[in-house]
Structure 1
């Protein structure tokens, strides 16, 4: 059992923007009711929104040995149906307005805007005893690949976050990230284990309802990806009257050094904490953090390893790098390193394939004091507003849909798509936006004479940088 709900029985667990509140004691009773009669070690697809019903379901299933698969409720039908076919979940936990998709199936618990549905698959898959949760790698292209997280992974990482952020039951974080995203979910986990109150809203930073809720309920913290802080900068949060705000955390990609410095100074001058963090879904959530008292001095750094973890760099031959300011691949070791991946239902019975070691795919350097700086990536993926997008997968989707040659490249928060026929330029861009369901502002299309390639026919992605750098 991850969450000791009885320990904080009288504390308020959730408050939503519509005035619904739930104590930890009430959350325990509802959780027991939802899972009454359900088969343990079964699989449930949770179609998530930042609403109280979604959060209740997650806690209920995780605490009762039922494995939740956290999915965006707006997932495209084609991808959703493909995942259902690959994994045969025993149950569906979805918003009321999705219930019709499973017409004819038996219903269970209904409440808080959600409904539990029993699927009618004839078979289900064996599940490894320690498997607790399945999460996407934060990508949005509908890949069936999930990260397999164990109960130990979740608890160890949550406790580490509690330690370095110094969390207690007086905290009142407000939701700014989807709970099916590893960073957003880690905020739930780390606060629930200390008996804090989570303020749940699906409103965005640009909506006055968000800030009204923030002020009315006395939010003490929020988390954000780089794009979040770009918005906050434009909103001039520095001028806002937010007396309850204690902590701002940032992950999901590297923040521009100037913006990092601006928020670090704002926090320092107003008696708050600004904490830059580093993580991946493959390490449950967090691997590194920059102590707030170093935030100005070490701008651009993602910090040091979290309590219980360890970093080192390796060169192309796999040998340790011991000299400061030499680039190598970042390797992390810790009990929060997840079990491995699942790409179909048959993979759910697999055990621990990583044994506590993760080669992150990020290229990094460390300084003389042991603080790490991410300088690039080993593989072709970008972070688009905190969502990891595999560029090879984008190219594959375009080729599959249009039968044309295309190439994608870019930097974080800016994905550039290259085609050789002007009639496909906007069509391809709109297609990728629809598939990823990410902010259209992040995408640009280019028409070029030919896709640059080497003698063996491999695309020369570096040649494309001249079009956007």
Structure 2
């Protein structure tokens, strides 16, 4: 199966069903499919050939959804790029993937005009909104495409081993890496997640996260596969508007990240009827147990799925909701159809309670990093059976029943006073302190301790001093885990996907 068939099969089965709600637009599967065909034919007319890269530099919008499927229908590889990406990083990504076509908004005219000279692989720019007197030699106006090109589907030229997309990681530790996802990777991952979430065509899913982020992208892909409806939004900047949207559209699926849930927990939601919500999901970073309890108290009728994944495997683990009471700090078991285990540095599998690197095996293990064999060799290795394994770079431990617990990133471990400290363990304790809204814990250089523990704290409405925090820590943490420094902040730096960006803290 090819990824564009998610849309095509739903359009054949449910042609008149509303597939996408975005702002005031409501499009059916058939309407999206026909528009994607027109754009695909236009891309081929511009010289797009099999496996050429189509860069998509757009915010969450109808045009972005259509462009994703159009690039696939034309035989290309789509490359979604966060709309908040600045010119230097954007130029790097376009050159790295050698993008042949860029689809973007005319509002980015100044950036686009500068790109043409810096990215020699670009042959055509497709603009979703017009600009005055563009100085581009070869560009297409999005609106003209629907006048000049056929709505008939182009002939399929790919197989499921061909790449479907390149998803660039955030690059917080260096240049962004393009994760190569073939059609079979995406199809398998979507099927597995749909299975454990129990999705059906009656589900209405909220799309708050950028489609350039794999968690956001899969809300679109999965919803179109099972024939549901996606309500696409720009983010969670105005929570009251989103809560009203949930009520009006009777949304059943709410995919969030910890920063979104922190905002929700600080709100009074009693004015809204949110009873349609069937499930909530979380990934990107683990929820602290105190937040899990608070979320379940706020939404007692909805199932909460705590999950773990990384772009290199899409999704890896999920915790069945019925296990939350027993092990709220676990991120679960392997997703259906996959296998995971924990290894030490010598490659030996570890048992109950032992800490080591999580290793993943399954059809969702992506193909590697685009044009980067050295980093691919570190992350992706061959198993004795000859298939690909993903070495996650994350430390985990396992309980006697096989449920897994995130400990830390291998490179995040703090070594203080000769002891190893997992930042997450300290963060979980601080999150349980009433009035703490967000926390990030890092290690900073110290001439005596080696590394000292520093905690950055965002408070809610409760007033608190450093003395209050340290008194609480002395009661709940071992001596070597108590922060030496406490810094109160109005907010923490975050990536475009809502992850706390520790690299910007010091």
**Would you say 1:180 and 2:216 are equivalent positions?**
no
Counterpart Cα distance in 2 of 1:436 and 1:219:
24
Superposed, 1:333-372 pairs within 5 Å as: 333-343=361-371, 355-372=387-404
CA contact (8 A) 2:38 2:145 kept: no
Identify the residue that residue 16 of structure 2 maps to in structure 1.
10
Match of 1:202 among 198, 215, 234: 234
Q: Deviations over 1:123-169 (max 9, x none)?
A: xxxx9961110011244577242111110110000000110000011
Q: Which residue is 1:401 aligned to?
A: none
1:230 corresponds to which of 262, 274, 279: 262
Secondary structure of the residue that 1:78 maps to in structure 2? helix
Counterpart of 1:373? 405
Q: 2:342 matched to which residue of 1?
A: 313
Instruction: Please state how far the C-alpha of 1:182 moved relative to its aligned partner.
Output: 1.2
TM-score under structure 2 length normalisation: 0.69
Unaligned runs of 5+ in 2: 114-134, 147-158, 414-422, 425-439, 443-450, 459-488
Q: Which residue of 2 aligns with 1:295?
A: 324
What's 1:273 paired with? 303
Q: How many residues align?
A: 392
State whether residues 53 and 113 of structure 1, in contact with CA within 8 Å, keep that contact through their aligned partners in structure 2. Answer: no
Q: Which residue of structure 2 lines up, in the alignment, with residue 166 of structure 1?
A: 198
Q: How far apart in 2 are the matches of 1:48 and 1:89?
A: 15
User: Within 2, Cα distance between the matches of 1:300 and 1:434?
Assistant: 23
TM-score (norm 1): 0.74
Shift in alpha-carbon separation, 1:239–1:311, aligned structure 2, 3 A: farther
Shift of 1:43: 0.8
| Greater Cα radius of gyration, structure 1 or 2 | 2
Deviations 1:334-384 (A, max 9, x none): 100000002579x99xxx97633111111111111111101112124999x
User: How far apart, in 1, do the equivalents of 2:187 and 2:99 lie?
Assistant: 24
CA distance in 1, matches of 2:141, 2:228: 26
Whether the 8 Å contact between 2:244 and 2:272 is mirrored in structure 1 is no
Q: Cα 1:22–1:441, aligned 2, differ >3 Å: closer, same or farther?
A: same
2:360 alignment counterpart = 332
Distance in 2 (CA, whole Å) between partners of 1:197 and 1:329 is 38
Gaps of 5+ in 1: 115-126, 384-388, 392-406, 415-428, 447-469
Cα deviations across residues 201-237 of structure 1 (Å, max 9, x unaligned)?
A: 1142534332232222221121111111111111144
Q: Does 1:95 align with 2:90?
A: no
CA contact 2:259–2:498 (8 Å) conserved in 1: no
The equivalent residue for 2:28 is 23
Structure 1: distance between partners of 2:240 and 2:271 = 15
RMSD between aligned alpha carbons? 3.8
Is the 8 Å Cα contact of residues 344 and 357 (structure 2) preserved in structure 1?
Answer: yes
User: Aligned pair 1:250/2:282, yes or no?
Assistant: yes
